[in-house]
Structure 1
Amino acid sequence: MKVAIIGSTHAGVFAAKEVLAQNPNAEVHIYEKNDTVSFLSCGIALWIGNHVSSPDRMFYESPESLAKQGLHVHMHTLVGKADLVDKVLTINDLQSGEQTEERFDKIVITTGSRAVKPNLPGIDSDKIYLAKNWDDANALKKVSEDIKSAIVIGAGYIGAELAEQLSVNDKQVTLIDALDRVLANNTDETYSDVFAKAYQEHGVELALEQRVVSFEESDQGITVTTDKGSYTADIAILSIGFVPNTSLFEGQVDMLGNGAIVTDQYMQTNVPDVFAAGDASTVFYNPTQEHDYIPLATNAVRQGILVGRNIVKPTVAYQGTQATSAVELYGLAYASTGLNQSSAAKKGVKTQTVSIQEDYRPNFMLTTDKVTASLTWEVDTRRIVGGAFLSKHDISQAANVVSLAIENKMTIDQLAMTDFFFQPNFDQPINYISSVAIAAASQS
C-alpha cells in the first residue's frame, strides 16, 4: 500500500506515524513545502515573551526522526496538482525545480490552514507580521527585541496572547478588533470584561468595534487606519483568523463554503481512499451535533491518528470535539469548552447559562482564590453544551471535565450529582464544577 500524506504539521505527522504503525509494510510518503514539521505555533506568544526554554523544543518531531521511523520524508516539496480520483499527484521539488508524477493507493490531505490576510491597501508592507508558522515566529521574535510599540489586529486567542506578552515586556500595544469585546468569539461578557480591564491596567489601548481599512508605512513605523481612527506603531501583527488551505482540491471533494473538506466519522472524504484531517477539514462539533470548522491542534492530532486507524477499512469512529481550549493572560487562567450563550445563539441553539463565583477551596486555608464558573445547557433537553472557568488558580482541568460531559451528552442534573472528591488543599466539600451544575439544575 502506497500512501501520500500532503502536509506535516500535526494531523500529517500523526497520520503518517499511525498509518505505518498499523501497517508496517506500507510505503508512506510525506510531502512538505517548508523545512520543518510539527511546529507548535501555539507557543509563539510565549516565545516572544521569553517563556520558552528553547525554540528547538517547540517541535516534537523532525524530518530526520520521521525518516528513522521508516517514513519517506520529502521536504521543500510542493504538490502542485492532485487528481484525487486516479490518485495521481504532481510533485515539485522546490530546490531542484524537478517535477514528477506519482500514483498512490491512498491520499491523505493534511494541508492545514493559512492566516487570513485581507486585500487592503498597504497589506504587503514588511512591517506587517503574521503569527502562523516557524518563519513567522522567527521574524516576530527577531523584531520584537528592538521595537517599542506594536499594533495587534485581532483579539482572539492568538492576538490576545501576543498583546499581553508584548505589554508585559514594556511595549506600547494597541489591540484592534472589529467586534465589541476582546475574546468575543471565545467568551461571554462575564469573562471578556475582566480581560478588558486587565489590558487597560497594563497600558494596552483597546480599539474595539473598528475595522481596518488600510496600512501605510511612515517614518514612525506603520500606520493602521480603521473606520474610526488611525494608530501608529513600529510594527503591526495580523491575527484575524485562519482559513483551510485546500484550494488545490476544489471541485474534487465535498467542502464547506470556506473550503474545509467534509469527512465522515472515519475521516474519509466522499472520494474513495482519500482522507482529510486537521485544519484542512471539518470537525463534528458535539454541542451542535453538526459539522463545523474549528482549527485546533488537539483536533488535528486526534483526526490524524484516526486516519491511520481507518486507512485500510473503517475501524474507529471519530468521537467529535467540544473545541476545548484555555488561555492565561496577566495571571488569569481561563478555560472553556463548547458553547456559551452568545455563540449558541449564533448557532441557533436555544440555551440557558448560569454563572457562580466562589473560593476554590475553604477559606480556613491560609490562601485561596475566587473561581468564576459558568455552565450552558440546551433548554429543551437539559443537555450540557458548554462551560467556562476563570481564576488566578489553575482551573484548566475543569473545562476538560465539562468537555467529557458534553461528549457523553450528560444533563445538568447528572453533572450536579457526579462524584467529585473533597480535600481542603484542592477544593470545597462541593467542588465548583458541582456548584455550577447544581445552580443550573435549580434554575430550570
Structure 2
Amino acid sequence: MTQPRTAPDDGIAARRAALHLVEQATGGQRLLSETIGAGALERLSPPDRARAQRLATATLRQLPRADRALKPYLAKQPPLAVRNALRLGVVEIMEGAAPHGVVNAMVQIMSRGKRTQSYKGLVNAVLRKLGDQPPEAFAKLPVPKLPNWLRGPLVAAWGRRAVEAMEAVQAETPPLDLTAKGDPAALAEALGGALLPTGAVRLHDAGQVSALPGFEAGEWWVQDAAAALAARVLDARPGERVLDMCAAPGGKTMQLAATGAEVTALDLSETRLGRLRENLDRTGLVARVVQGDALEFDEAGYDAILLDAPCSATGTIRRHSDLPHAKDGAEFGALIELQAEMIDHALGLLKPGGRLVFCTCSLLPDEGEVQVEEALERHAGLQNDLAALERPGIEPGWIGAEGLRLRPDYWAERGGMDGFFIACLRPGARDG
C-alpha cells in the first residue's frame, strides 16, 4: 500500500522558531538562552532546533546591515513582527540562501498570523527585490557597530581602532571551539579541525554539534578557546581539592576533573546544574555537584578555587549576538559589587598557600583589571601571580600589570576569540 506523501516543510518550523527568538530579543529584551530555556524550541527536531538558533543569531548579528538593506524599500516601518521577518529573510539571502525559497517561506509565515496576514504582499515584494541584488551589494554594507551604551566605555578603555577591529570579528559567524578530553591533536585530525596554539580545537562550518563524531562518546565538549584558558591558568593537580565556584554549565569543571583533582562544582541554578550533570555523565568525568549560593558556601580548606564570576558577558557577543539587543548595561553596577564580594569570600575558603583564579567573560576593565587592583588594596599580602599566566599559546602582549586580557580581535585571522579577563591571586599570611 502506497503511503500518502506529506508536503515538505521547507524550513517553516525552524524559521518560525527563529523569528520568535528574534522577537523576544528585540521586543522583549530577553536573551536567547532565557527564551530557549522556557521551552521555545522543545517541539523541534534536533536539526531544526540547531537551524533555528543559527538563523536567530545570524539575524541579530547582522541586524544593522539588514535594516540598511531594507530601508530603500520601506516607506514606513511595519510592525516589529513583520520587520523581523524581513530582517531574517534578507540575512538569509545575504548569506547565500536561494531567494525564492526564502521569499516563499516568509510569505507563508506571514499568512499564518492574524496580525501579519495583511503584510504578506509587502514581504513578498521587498524580499523579491532584495533577492535580485548581486551578492557584492550586501558585502559593501558597513560593519555593524556595538550599541552606544557599550561602545562608549569600550572605546574609552581600548581605543576606537581596537573596538572597530572587535566589531569586524563580531560581524562574522564564529567558528566552534572544542576542548578535548584526551589528545587535542588527535581530535583535530579526526574532525578535520585546526589545533590552536593554546590546545583548543577549532572547527569552521561545524553544523549540528550533537551529530559530530565523538560527541556521544564524550570525547570533547564545546568551549571557546579563551574560556578554556582559565582552568589552564589554575593548573589543578591530581589529588588537589579544587572548587569551581560558579560552575554551570560545566566546561571548566570538566577541565579540572580531567586533571585528577577532587573537584567540587558549585552553582546557584539547579537548572544549569542539570546541564552540568549531563555533561559529566556524557564525558565520564567525576565531580561533586553542589547547589547553593557562592556567598553562603562556607566549606574552607581548598587548594585552588576557580571563580568565573557573574558579569556583563560583553566578551561573548561574538557568539551571543542577542546581548546588545536584550541588554542595556543597567545591571553593570550590581554585577561589579557582586564580583568584589565573591573575590573576598573565595579568598577566605583557600588553605594557606592556595590560589584563586578570578575571571570574567567581560571586555570592561571594571569587571577585570579594576577588580584586581581593588582586591590588592583590600587584602594585605595578596599577591598577583603574573607568572601563572604564562601558558602555551598565550602571547606576552596579552598579559598586563593586572592579568591576562583577551579580546575578540585577537587571532582575528583565525576567527577571533571571546573577550575574557583572567588573574591568579595568592593570599599572604594575613589573608590565608
Question: TM above 0.5, one fold?
Answer: no
Structure number with the higher helix fraction is 2
Interval of TM-score (by shorter of Structure 1 and Structure 2): under 0.3
TM norm structure 1: 0.25
Structure number with the higher strand fraction is 1
